[in-house]
C-alpha cells in the first residue's frame, strides 16, 4: 500500500532492523541498528520503540533475527515476551511468529505481513473514524498513537490525520503525558511535521478545557482491550474518560483487532506495567524530586467499557461497547 506519511518508527533491512530511537526525539533523530533479538528486546523494554502495534511489529522482526541466528525458538520467544507486560500486540505478534515457525511458513514474509497488515488496519481505522469527527472539531488526545506507535499512520492520531487529509478543519489538544512525555515529544512532533493545528497542554488542563466547552471529542489508543470492552491505555486515560462523561464529551478509542485480548474477560485481569521510579523523579536527565522521595510509577490504567462511546477498529465501529457487539464486529 502506498505510504503518504514519511514518519516511520522502523525499517526492516533484510539482515537487521533500523529503529528510530524515540527516547531522543524531538531534539535528535538517531537510528539504532539492531542485529539480534536481545538488542530488540532491550529496545522494547527501554522504550526506544513504544506504542502497542509498533512493539508487536518490532518483536516479530526480533523473533526472526533470533531464529535466523540459530537460537532456540522458546528462548527467543520468552526473551521478547518478558519485555513489557500490558501491550497485547506484543504477545499477539509473537504467537503468530511461533505458529508460522511450527507450520513451516516463511518467517520473514510473516513479519512483513504483520507490519503491512497493521499499516492497512490504521488506514481503515482512519477512514472509518473520521466520519465521527465533525467539521471544526477540537479533539483531545493522550500519549502518542501516531505513525511512531504503529507500522505507520496511527490509530487515534490516524483518525485525526485522516480527518485533516480529507480537508476537515480540526484542532488538537495534545496532553503532554507525564512522565514519559509521549504527547509533548512525539505527538506534537508528528503534528508539526504535517502542519496539523495543535496546542500542547499539561495533562491536568483537560478538565478545565472540557468545563469551558473547548473539547468536542476525545480520541485515544489502546494497549489491550478485553472481551467485555474494558480498555488499558496510558496512565491518565481513565481520568480523561471520567471527565468526558461528566461533561458529555464523546470518548472514542481507536485500535486494530490485534489489540483485542478476547481470552481475558475484564480490565481487572490485565497485567499493568509498573516502571522504575527514576522515570518519574527525573525529567530529561535532571532530577525533579528529592532523591530519596518514594514514588509510584504505574504506566497504564483501565477505562471501563461503559465510559467508552465507541471503539473504532479496521473491521468496523463497535457501539455500544458490549461483549456481543465486539464479538460480532471482530468475527
Footprint of ligand MRU on this chain (CB under 6 A)? 50-53, 87, 143, 145, 149-150, 155, 182, 221-223, 233-234, 299
As a dihedral over the C-alpha atoms of residue 264, residue 41, residue 157, residue 221, rounded to 10 degrees, the angle is 20
DSSP 184-243: IIIIHHHHHHTT--EEEE-GGGHHHHHHTT--SEEEE--SEEETT--EEEETTHHHHHHH
- Of 117 and 223, CB closest to ligand MRU: 223
Burial of 304 (0-12, 13-18, 19+ CB in 10 A): middle
User: In the numeric block, which cell numbers belong to residue 326?
Assistant: 465486539
3 state DSSP class of 293: coil
CB of 247 to ligand MRU, least distance (A): 22
- Of 137 and 312, CB closest to ligand MRU: 312
CB of 186 to ligand MRU, least distance (A): 8
Place of cell 480520541: 219
Asked about 223 being catalytic, the answer comes back as yes
3 state DSSP class of 110: helix
Which residue from 63, 256, 42, 239 is spatially nearest to 149, judged by alpha carbons? 256
Q: What are phi and psi of 188, to 5 degrees?
A: -60, -35
* Candidates 118, 175, 223, 261; catalytic one: 223
Q: How many helices and strands, by DSSP H and E, does the chain display?
A: 12, 16
CB of 68 to ligand MRU, least distance (A): 26
Orientation angle between helical segments 73-81 and 52-68, nearest 10 degrees: 150
- Of 47 and 64, CB closest to ligand MRU: 47
CB of 205 to ligand MRU, least distance (A): 19
- Of 99 and 202, CB closest to ligand MRU: 202
Instruction: For the chain, give the number of residues.
Output: 331
3 state DSSP class of 166: coil
CB of 101 to ligand MRU, least distance (A): 26
3 state DSSP class of 269: helix
CB of 147 to ligand MRU, least distance (A): 10
Catalytic residues: 223
Amino acid at each position: 500500500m502506498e505510504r503518504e506519511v514519511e514518519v516511520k518508527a522502523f525499517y526492516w533491512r533484510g539482515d537487521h532492523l533500523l529503529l528510530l530511537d524515540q527516547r531522543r526525539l524531538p531534539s535528535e533523530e538517531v537510528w539504532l541498528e539492531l542485529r539480534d533479538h536481545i538488542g530488540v528486546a532491550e529496545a522494547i523494554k527501554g522504550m526506544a520503540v513504544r506504542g502497542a502495534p509498533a512493539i508487536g511489529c518490532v518483536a516479530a522482526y526480533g523473533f526472526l533475527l533470533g531464529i535466523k541466528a540459530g537460537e532456540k525458538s522458546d528462548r527467543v520467544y520468552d526473551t521478547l515476551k518478558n519485555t513489557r507486560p500490558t501491550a497485547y500486540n506484543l504477545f499477539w505478534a509473537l504467537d503468530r511468529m511461533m505458529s508460522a515457525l511450527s507450520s513451516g511458513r516463511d518467517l520473514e514474509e510473516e513479519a512483513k505481513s504483520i507490519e503491512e497488515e497493521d499499516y492497512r488496519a490504521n488506514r481503515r481505522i482512519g477512514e472509518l473514524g473520521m466520519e465521527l469527527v465533525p467539521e471544526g472539531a477540537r479533539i483531545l488526545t493522550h500519549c502518542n498513537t501516531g505513525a511512531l506507535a504503529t507500522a505507520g499512520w496511527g490509530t487515534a492520531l490516524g483518525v485525526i490525520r485522516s480527518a485533516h487529509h480529507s480537508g476537515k478543519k480540526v484542532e488538537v489538544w495534545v496532553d503532554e503525558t507525564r512522565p514519559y512525555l509521549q504527547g509533548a515529544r512525539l505527538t506534537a512532533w508528528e503534528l508539526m511535521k504535517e502542519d496539523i493545528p495543535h496546542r500542547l497542554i499539561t495533562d491536568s488542563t483537560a478538565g478545565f478545557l472540557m468545563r469551558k466547552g473547548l473539547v468536542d471529542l476525545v480520541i485515544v489508543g489502546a494497549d489491550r482491550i478485553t472481551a467485555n470492552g474494558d480498555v488499558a491505555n496510558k496512565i491518565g486515560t481513565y481520568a480523561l474518560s471520567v471527565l468526558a462523561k461528566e461533561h458529555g464529551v464523546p470518548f472514542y478509542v481507536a485500535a486494530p483487532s490485534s489489540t483485542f485480548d478476547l481470552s481475558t474477560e475484564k480490565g481487572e485481569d490485565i497485567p499493568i506495567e509498573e516502571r522504575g521510579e527514576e522515570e518519574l523523579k527525573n525529567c530529561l536527565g535532571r532530577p525533579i524530586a528529592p532523591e530519596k522521595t518514594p514514588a509510584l510509577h504505574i504506566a497504564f490504567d483501565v477505562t471501563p467499557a461503559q465510559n467508552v462511546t465507541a471503539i473504532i477498529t479496521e473491521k468496523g465501529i463497535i457501539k455500544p461497547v458490549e461483549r456481543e457487539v465486539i464479538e460480532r464486529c471482530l468475527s
